[in-house]
Structure 1
């Protein structure tokens, strides 16, 4: 009997402990974030219109129980309205943003405990809008191309000016050449005149010395 009673007490104790553990397990297991859209670390070409968070259990839909903060790299708020909670999903609409986007969230899980976290993604700068204006710029550039002929005529009219400048630069050399030629002619004339005078004097001396020697 004592052994049977002891076994019964131990069995009842084990059942009680198991019941406590089983009842406490769901209460201690908080819901967790399963996925996000966009995913954490995603690189997007265009800004998403909204983000969606999916949890492992239903989220409290009471007012103020769910809080979402979405900002860009400069800290600009990108929220557009309040978050919408449906069962285990939270959806938040956004205004467009680029660069690094950071999402902070806090919800109340099904066990009544608040849980929070964050994730982020990047959005490339919009380059499609400037490319749409590329065709007007091409048409504008095509019109000035027709004015290439006036520019050619302009260069043609400026050509004589460059000739005048060249002639003006050569003019001092022309004057210098004339002066040098004149000086050379004058020197040559003096040399020729001097040679003629010396020759005349020599002839005169020879003529005068002839009669003197006969006497």
Structure 2
């Protein structure tokens, strides 16, 4: 297989931990959190934001539709950075080592317009990609075929020369179906080893 010309990172659970349920378990009893998530489609709400819907407006509208859970739902906006944390430091280090070696590094992420802009003020590495493909701006989310097509059309790199990592198997499968090289992200160690195997990094680049 051809050596990759560009590396593409997902962000959530690859570069930044994204665990909303874990956050809510810190601010309300677990049984209440489970009831809220069962009653309110919060992940569906987040998908709408990832497709380009207004960050605050979408969340606050949902909160008003479910007055029992109004205050905790609003935390999806007001305490968002506490859900999207912490940064996964070893993955960030890999991103920076790739760029230091002159390897183009892109992001392909399901992320809202407002939430991504805010995250960029909190995590400096989100400003360091050579290209950032953010679903909110693109109007389509992974794993829909169109988002991968849009990346291919814009970046100018042949699909078989793209190496993509994502924590979700469905997103990886969709990329592989386009001919992309892929790595299911199950931890930074495996990802680092893959980058060395591809000749994009040297073993010393990942020494701890």
Query: TM-score normalized by structure 1?
Result: 0.19
Question: Given the two structures, how large is their TM-score scaled by the length of structure 2?
Answer: 0.19
Answer 1 or 2: which has greater helix percent: 2
Greater fraction strand? 1
Greater relative CO, 1 or 2 (CA 8 Å, sep 6+): 2
Larger radius of gyration between Structure 1 and Structure 2: 1
